[in-house]
């Protein structure tokens, strides 16, 4: 270790984070140790206790800065490290952050250690430092393996099992961190791919520090909504495609991770929204040769179908059928019994379908496919433009975006001329969603008033068609659950009246 008071050196931490599905540390460690990748490598173990500091207004967090004091080892024989981390991409499981770390004599936050780091520019007068206070703690057992490749690249594989403590709340830590010690970032995905062949993982775009802040706010298990990237009119199109698709995939993976711990129907909804946004994003950039090279995601179909079925059950259970309950039951005890029996069957169906989804999430193939998509995104286009994309070379991002959304708008308008059959109506609804998601993703590049008008039109059409679809799905579910004949007839009549 370095002597106390020396100026910390900057390093760039390149790390791939993966969520795991169980907190059984012995089982996880044994599973990892048996992998061919790690079987002949000696593991080391450390107990790590970290206290993170920020102001009550979270000034550091808002600027993507993390400041912590780490205790290595036991409380009886500790060693202390102070770490400053800056930057990082919270919309990807792969993060790159500047890191400054130094030994300190005890658990007291050291202002001296921050000298010679970017802290001096952030807090030249030292007033911010005086406002810092402990905001949350992470405590976990870390088991490490070092993987050295023949090409000279080196990766540290770390299994972290423990918990986060914040303002009386507690949340588990169960994840893998793959840190690049030497070589190219692609090596991280290569190592992760070997692990994902036998162990269920999920790309994790949120750090322990970010989870700590969320736990302190009691928002850790809330669904993640869309957070479209801020695009500049001069953003090159290949970079814009990466930024847009990365955010969409991150929303999907983040909500999948939450689904392993939460029964909130809104998490299911936002998970499905995220995947539809991702598919719409691929359609936006479909002429790009890079987008055409996307890895095969068809192995996600069992998960996607399971999510769709669960969402249909949730909507029927919590939205569509409750609004019709009184119209059917009135004060009739028999009808009330029919309705209650259907609701009981529906509750059981929801629970069963949620188990189906979690079973799909626990399959290694799910994580392996999501990892492949993440690696593809982080690899990015190999060149600014290909020969087949020469037409985009002349177009500014703003002009390109306007042209793409205008084209989607024309497709949407044309589809509205024929909604006489369910298939045509379904296509109109799909195009309405694509138009909405496209406008959301490219909003900074679009004419504000016109795009807002188009957005509202698409939203209204989607809502109108969606209401009828929800009643149809509720009827199909009631038939499948063998609801009383009188109740089924009521639902059929209501559906005819809303057509």
Phi, psi of 473 (to 5 degrees): -65, -40
> Tokens standing for 138?
């992470």
Q: Quote the CA–CA distance of 154 and 371 in Å, as a whole number.
A: 19
CB atoms within 10 A of CB 50: 22
As beta bridge partners, residue 155 has 147, 180
Q: Quote the CA–CA distance of 219 and 212 in Å, as a whole number.
A: 10
Output the pLDDT for position 420. Answer: 72
- Positive or negative: CA dihedral 351, 270, 314, 300: negative
Q: Quote the CA–CA distance of 72 and 160 in Å, as a whole number.
A: 14
| Class of residue 3 by CB neighbours under 10 A (exposed 0-12, middle 13-18, buried 19+) | exposed
- Specify the DSSP element, H or E, that contains 166: strand 154-166
Output the pLDDT for position 386. Answer: 45
Output the pLDDT for position 2. Answer: 42
**Buried residues in 17-33 as b, exposed as e (16+ CB within 10 A):** bbbbbeeebeebbebbb
The three-class DSSP label of residue 259 is: helix
118-140, pLDDT tens digit by residue?
Answer: 999 999 999 999 999 999 999 99
Tens digit of pLDDT at every position of the chain (499 positions)? 444 445 677 788 999 999 998 767 778 888 999 999 999 899 999 999 999 999 999 999 999 999 999 999 887 889 999 999 998 666 789 999 999 999 999 999 999 999 889 999 999 999 999 999 999 999 999 999 999 999 999 999 999 999 999 989 999 999 999 999 999 999 999 999 999 999 999 999 999 999 999 999 999 999 999 998 888 888 888 888 999 999 999 999 999 999 999 999 999 999 999 999 999 999 999 888 899 999 999 999 999 999 999 999 999 999 999 999 999 999 999 999 999 999 999 999 999 999 999 999 999 999 999 999 999 999 988 544 444 444 444 567 888 899 999 999 999 999 988 767 778 888 999 999 999 999 999 999 999 999 999 999 999 999 888 888 899 999 999 999 999 999 999 999 988 877 6
Q: Quote the CA–CA distance of 44 and 392 in Å, as a whole number.
A: 52
DSSP calls for 242-282:
HHHHHHHHHHHHHHHHHHTT---HHHHHHHHHHHHHHHHHH
CB atoms within 10 A of CB 286: 10
- Specify the DSSP element, H or E, that contains 200: none
Output the pLDDT for position 424. Answer: 87
Output the pLDDT for position 11. Answer: 85
Q: Quote the CA–CA distance of 203 and 175 in Å, as a whole number.
A: 10
> Tokens standing for 459?
């939203």
Beta carbons within 8 Å of 262's beta carbon, 6+ residues apart: 221
Output the pLDDT for position 73. Answer: 83
Output the pLDDT for position 389. Answer: 47
Output the pLDDT for position 89. Answer: 61
**Alpha carbon of residue 253 to chain centroid:** 4
Cβ–Cβ under 8 Å, residues 229 and 241: no
């Amino acid at each position: 270790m370095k002597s106390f008071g020396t100026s910390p050196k900057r390093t760039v931490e390149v790390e791939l984070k993966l969520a795991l599905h169980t907190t059984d540390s012995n089982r996880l460690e044994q599973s990892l140790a048996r992998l061919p990748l790690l079987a002949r490598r000696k593991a080391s173990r450390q107990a790590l206790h970290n206290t993170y500091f920020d102001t009550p207004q979270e000034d550091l967090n808002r600027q993507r800065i993390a400041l912590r004091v780490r205790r290595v080892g036991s409380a009886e024989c500790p060693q202390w490290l102070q770490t400053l981390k800056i930057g990082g991409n919270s919309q990807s499981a792969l993060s790159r952050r500047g890191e400054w770390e130094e030994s300190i004599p005890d658990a007291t936050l050291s202002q001296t250690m921050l000298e010679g780091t970017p802290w001096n520019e952030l807090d030249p007068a030292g007033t911010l430092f005086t406002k810092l206070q402990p905001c949350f703690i992470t405590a976990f057992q870390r088991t490490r393996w070092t993987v050295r490749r023949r090409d000279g690249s080196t990766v540290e594989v770390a299994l972290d099992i423990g918990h986060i403590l914040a303002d009386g709340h507690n949340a588990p830590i169960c994840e893998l961190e793959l840190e690049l010690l030497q070589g190219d970032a692609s090596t991280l995905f290569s190592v992760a791919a070997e692990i994902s062949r036998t162990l269920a993982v999920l790309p994790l775009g949120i750090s322990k520090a970010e989870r700590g802040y969320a736990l302190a706010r009691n928002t850790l298990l809330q669904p993640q909504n869309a957070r479209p990237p801020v695009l500049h009119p001069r953003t090159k199109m290949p970079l814009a495609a990466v930024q847009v698709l990365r955010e969409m995939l991150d929303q999907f993976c983040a909500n999948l991770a939450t689904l392993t711990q939460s029964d909130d129907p809104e998490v299911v909804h936002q998970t499905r929204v995220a995947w539809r946004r991702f598919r719409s994003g691929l359609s936006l950039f479909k002429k790009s040769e890079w987008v055409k090279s996307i890895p095969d995601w068809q192995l996600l179909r069992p998960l996607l179908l399971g999510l769709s079925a669960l969402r249909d059950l949730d909507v029927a259970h919590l939205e569509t059928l409750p609004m019709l309950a009184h119209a059917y039951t009135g004060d009739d005890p028999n009808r009330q019994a029919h309705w209650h029996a259907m609701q009981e069957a529906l509750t059981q169906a929801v629970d069963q379908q949620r188990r189906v989804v979690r079973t799909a999430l626990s399959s290694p193939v799910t994580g392996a496919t999501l990892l492949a998509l993440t690696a593809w995104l982080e690899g990015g286009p190999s060149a600014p433009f290909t020969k087949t994309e020469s037409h985009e070379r002349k177009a500014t991002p703003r002009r390109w975006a306007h042209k793409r959304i205008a084209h989607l708008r024309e497709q949407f308008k044309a589809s509205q001329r024929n909604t006489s059959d369910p298939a045509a109506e379904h296509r109109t609804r799909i195009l309405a969603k694509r138009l909405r998601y496209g406008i959301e993703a490219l909003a900074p590049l679009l004419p504000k008033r016109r795009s807002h008008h188009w957005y509202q039109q698409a939203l209204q059409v989607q809502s109108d068609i969606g209401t009828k679809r929800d009643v149809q799905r509720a009827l199909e579910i009631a038939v499948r659950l063998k609801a009383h004949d009188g109740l089924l007839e009521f639902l059929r009549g209501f559906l005819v009246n809303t057509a």
